[in-house]
Amino acid sequence: MICYIEHLPQDSAFRRAVLGPAAELSLDTYLLRRVELRMAQVVWQNGGGKGKRPEPVTLPGEKPRGQQRSQAVSGDDVAQRLRNLGLIPAGDAGM
């Protein structure tokens, strides 16, 4: 089943439901964004670094830079997720 889900087409209803607007973005979109950012940085540096430093284009489903926060995950949460996947036996409560 996992193999089937991993190979669903880019525009499948499942991917749209799980990923939201980001489902329509392909690897090409992300790579083009990186190229555009690097080109803008080269132009900015060649201009003496004057003005505001270039920032990447915000894609659908993404928070603007600076608003992204990493969420710390506790060891218990990780263990519970691994139990749910069947990778840790249900009786193991940790060491």
pLDDT digits (tens, 9 = 90+) for 68-82: 555 667 778 888 888
Distance CA(2)–CA(6), nearest Å, equals 6
Q: Which domain holds residue 32?
A: 26-55
Percent of the chain exceeding pLDDT 90 equals 13
Please indicate, yes or no, if residue 31 is contained in any of the structural domains: yes
pLDDT for position 38? 93
pLDDT-derived band at 67, boundaries 50, 70, 90: low
Does this model's pTM top 0.75? My answer is: no
Return the H-helix or E-strand segment holding 8: none
Q: Quick one: pLDDT band at residue 26, thresholds 50, 70, 90?
A: confident
Q: Is the pLDDT of residue 18 over 80?
A: yes
Give domain status of residue 48, yes or no: yes
44 contacts 53 by C-beta, under 8 angstroms? yes
Is residue 80 domain-resident? Answer: no
Q: Which helix (H) or strand (E) holds 17?
A: helix 13-19
Is 5 domain-assigned? no
Instruction: Tell me what the mean pLDDT of segment 24-51 comes to.
Output: 89
**Does 19 fall in a domain?**
no
* Paired tokens of 4: 């089937």
3-state secondary structure at position 9: coil
Is 44 inside a domain boundary? Answer: yes
Number of domain units in the chain: 1
Q: Say how far apart CA 40 and CA 21 lie, in whole Å.
A: 26
C-alpha to C-alpha distance for 91 and 94, rounded to whole angstroms: 9
